[in-house]
Structure 1
Amino acid sequence: MKIIYIILACCITGCIAEDSKHRPDKDSTVYSYAPSAVPDSGQPHSLDTVVIAGTYSGLLPCASCEGIETAITLYADRSFLMKEVYKGEQPDSFINKGKYEIKERVLYLKMDGAGVERPVMYTVTPNALTQLDMNGNEIQGAFAGHYRLIKN
């Protein structure tokens, strides 16, 4: 039984050592998550996709930090890249990519990979994206107006 624990410890140590080779900086940890709820329609690119292509950025509210510096780049081929930096005493960052779809002025971000069941949703307005809650509704409350990303 001891030999199994020794082999397991060696495997874990090897994985950690291999993973650290791929990180540019030990303090800048990048995490990723991804929903699978929005299917890729496979439809040709619409005019809406070309019009909204670009980078949208802003500081979104955060319950456990000083704010989430967010930048979403939408490409004409319906792919996107989202960078999030959680501000505060222990900053953390996330980089996600995947495909997006627009239905009835709602942008659905479908992350690559697995793990999150629902897509991230935004209302599309001229030169801005407004984040929606997990059910696709407008966010209410004192910070409702702060869930907006402006096109650069």
Structure 2
Amino acid sequence: MKNKILILAAVLALVSCGGNAQRKTAAADTQKAAAAAPDMHTAETSLDYQGTYRGTLPAADCPGIEVTLRLKPGGAYEQHLKYIGRDSEFDEKGGYTVRENLLTLTPADGEQPEYYKVEENRLRRLDAEKQPITGALADNYVLQKTTE
């Protein structure tokens, strides 16, 4: 009788360990699948890019350009530019589109479009080829989202 109880206990111990191994394998497979899944979060699928952004962009012939950019619902924008150290201010209106993380501003007056990369609570100015601006002043080409 003792032998039967010992054999039964050994079988139960082996079965319980085997089940645990299966659970560990299933958990590892789930983690691998989650890690392999692409991140589908883009500015286009998110609603948090609309709002007001401010910053001072570098300029060739003055200390900088104070920029206020408002992205409105429905694809319209307003931009106010103030040249520091000058008596020059400009307002611009137009439409915008967002594809993945690329924001394209198309002025209503037919001027060249401007490009920005949409990042978390900020916009990074891109060049005419839609590439990040490089060089010593690269970090200055950023507009921060405001609570306005």
What TM-score, normalized to structure 2?
Answer: 0.66
Structural mapping, 1:39-50, within 5 Å:
47-48=45-46, 50=47
Percent of aligned positions with the same letter in both sequences? Answer: 34
Give the aligned partner of residue 55 of structure 1: 52
Cα root mean square deviation, aligned: 1.2
The ranges of structure 1 where at least 4 consecutive aligned residues each deviate by more than 4 angstroms after the TM superposition are: none
Match of 2:95 among 92, 96, 99: 99
2:124 to 123, 130, 136: 130
Q: What residue ranges of structure 1 are gaps of 5+ in the alignment? A: 1-45
1:21-47 Cα deviation digits (max 9, x unpaired): xxxxxxxxxxxxxxxxxxxxxxxxx65
Partner residue of 1:120?
A: 114
2:71 maps to which of 69, 74, 83: 74
More helix by share: 2
Is 1:142 matched up with 2:125? Answer: no
Aligned length: 103
**Match in the other structure for 1:87:** 84
The gaps in structure 2 that reach 5 residues or longer are 1-43
For the residues of structure 1 that align with 2:45 and 2:99, how far apart are their CA atoms? Answer: 13
- Residue equivalent to 2:4: none
1:26 corresponds in structure 2 to none
1:117-142 CA distance string (max 9 Å, x none) = x3100000010000001111110100
RCO higher in structure (CA 8 A, sep ≥6) = 1
Q: Aligned partners of 2:87 and 2:98: how far apart in 1?
A: 32
Q: Deviations over 1:49-94 (max 9, x none)?
A: x321110001111111010000100011111100000111x33111
2: distance between equivalents of 1:94 and 1:142?
Answer: 27
How far apart are residue 109 of structure 1 and its match?
0.3
- Partner Cα distance (1:80, 1:61) in 2: 21
Q: TM-score, normalised by structure 1?
A: 0.64
Look up the equivalent residue of 2:138 and give its one-letter code.
Answer: A
Larger radius of gyration: 2
